[in-house]
Amino acid sequence: MPLSYRLDPDAEQELAEAMAWYDAERPGLGRDLLDEVHAVAQHAAEFPSSGELIRGLPLQHEFRRFQLKVFPYVLIARVRPSELDILAVAHQHRKPRYWRKRVAKISP
């Protein structure tokens, strides 16, 4: 059975900003980004071990990176037994690893 997933408020904000930017470039493109984020998140929730394991973070958590196929973004998620917590909708070419400071804010 797939895990449930949720976007952290910071990840929701990143997604909203990216959608607005893409819609300004071409109307409807932001919706395409949203659809892809949800498709990748659903796949990640069904197959959590399919994401690339992120090393160098607290050992009590498992963090994985899930690549979008069309847009240059990755989902950074903490895998828990019953839920996938998406901490970031991160652009691949901007501010690498900026999201790591969010790890300290999450509860075990």
Q: Convert the pLDDT of each residue in 18-47 to its tens digit.
A: 999 999 999 999 999 999 999 999 999 999
Q: How many domains does the chain have?
A: 1
Task: For Cα atoms 44, 50, 56, give the angle at the middle one, nearest 5 degrees.
Answer: 100
CATH code for position 44: 3.30.2310.20
Whether 108 maps to a domain, the answer reads: no
Give 52-68 pLDDT, tens digit per residue.
998 877 667 789 999 99
Q: How far is CA 24 from the centre of its chain?
A: 22
Whole-number Å distance between alpha carbons of 80 and 6: 12
Instruction: Give me the pLDDT at residue 18, please.
Output: 96
Residue-range definition of the domain harbouring residue 61: 4-103
Whole-number Å distance between alpha carbons of 108 and 100: 15
Residue bearing tokens 């990840």:
11
**Residue 62: strand pairing partners:** 79
This prediction's pTM? 0.88
What percent of the chain is modeled with pLDDT above 90?
70
Whether 35 maps to a domain, the answer reads: yes
Is residue 50 within 8 Å of 44, Cβ to Cβ?
yes
